[in-house]
Amino acid sequence: MAELSEVKATKLETNKLGQEILEILIPRVGAIVAQAMLDKQCTLVGITPSTIRKDHLEVLAQRIEHVLVIFGHDGKETGTKIRALQGLKG
């Protein structure tokens, strides 16, 4: 089993969009769960957090909305914020 310090040191490799999604998720579910959630949803879509493109945001937003329900959150607001990233430059 991993030491707590090893878990805290884990950092998911992301691109700018992945980092923006994490910044949206972390206040809701915490850093470790946010990283795991993003990584899993990317895997299920066939991408990695470091290869997220704007055209992936809609499907990721939909998937994350559904997962957040497990954590007792209304995922619609989070999904809306993720979709809004389509307007970012870069």
Flag whether 3 is in a domain: no
Q: Which of 12, 14, 33, 13 minimizes the C-alpha distance to 85?
A: 14
Res 26 pLDDT > 70: yes
pLDDT of amino acid 90 = 46
Let me know: does 57 contact 82? Beta carbons within 8 Å. yes
Inside any domain, residue 65:
yes
pLDDT at 15: 95
Domain that holds residue 60: 15-87
Buried b (16+ CB within 10 A) or exposed e, 46-78: ebbbeebeeebbeebbebbbebbeeeebebeeb
- Residue of 57 and 12 predicted with greater confidence: 57
In a domain, 19, yes or no: yes
Number of domains in the chain: 1
Report pLDDT digits (tens) over 28-86: 999 999 999 999 999 999 999 999 999 999 999 999 999 999 888 889 999 999 999 99
In a domain, 2, yes or no: no
